[in-house]
Amino acid sequence: MNIRVARIEDLPGMQACNLHNLPENYTIKYYLYHAMTWPSLSYVAEDHKGRIVGYILAKMEETDESQDGSQPPEPPHGHVTSISVLRSYRRLGLAKKLMLQSREFAFGAKQVPLINVMYTFAEEAMVTIYNAAYVSLHVRKSNRAALSLYRDTLGFTVERIEEKYYADGEDAYAMKLSFQQ
């Protein structure tokens, strides 16, 4: 298996992976928007034939400043829009591999060694390129495997429950991982 930055030519494979696995589907235009706007934040897993078998689609969130300046703007932060692995490639650790990368990170111009702290490929780019303070994601309350990966392995915390977040009415855990300690 190879994990690398997603390219424009990967978008149909990413969409096919999504259509096979998830009830939340996106148009090819949405994938293109991510790829063109945040080219370093989405990754694919490909098999030995070069077929896309998994992906992570991520972005930076827009931050709004208050009109009157009474509240400080929210710090820059990323969001994992979607992650999916084809069923026949599950239980091989691909979702974890798409998410994980242990290394030292650059917070702005200052090098800060973070030993034994795990970050995703996308998160590294969020920090080093966009100076993100944290990353967020949503996960279905019923998706125990994903919840365990995000919370127990990657260190995300549940911030709140968003009722009826998904189109089918299922609630979501809104999760967050802060980069700076």
Query: What local confidence, expressed as pLDDT, does residue 124 receive?
Result: 72
Query: What local confidence, expressed as pLDDT, does residue 101 receive?
Result: 34
Query: What local confidence, expressed as pLDDT, does residue 77 receive?
Result: 85
The long-range contacts involving 88-92, CB below 8 angstroms and separated by at least 24 positions, are 88/53, 89/1, 89/45, 89/47, 89/53, 89/54, 92/1
Taking only the tens of pLDDT, the chain with its 181 residues reads: 888 888 999 999 999 998 888 888 888 999 999 999 988 888 888 989 999 998 888 888 876 665 566 666 778 888 888 888 888 887 777 776 676 532 222 223 333 333 333 455 667 777 777 777 888 899 999 999 889 988 988 889 999 999 999 989 999 999 998 876 4
Query: What local confidence, expressed as pLDDT, does residue 109 receive?
Result: 33
d(CA 33, CA 13): 16
Among candidate residues 3, 5, 50, 8, the one with its CA nearest the CA of residue 28:
8
Question: Which two three-digit tokens encode residue 125?
Answer: 């780019």
Query: What local confidence, expressed as pLDDT, does residue 3 receive?
Result: 83
CA 12 to chain centre: 19
- What amino acid is encoded at 136 in this protein? S
Query: What local confidence, expressed as pLDDT, does residue 56 receive?
Result: 87
Query: What local confidence, expressed as pLDDT, does residue 181 receive?
Result: 46
- Find tokens 């591999």 and name the residue: 97
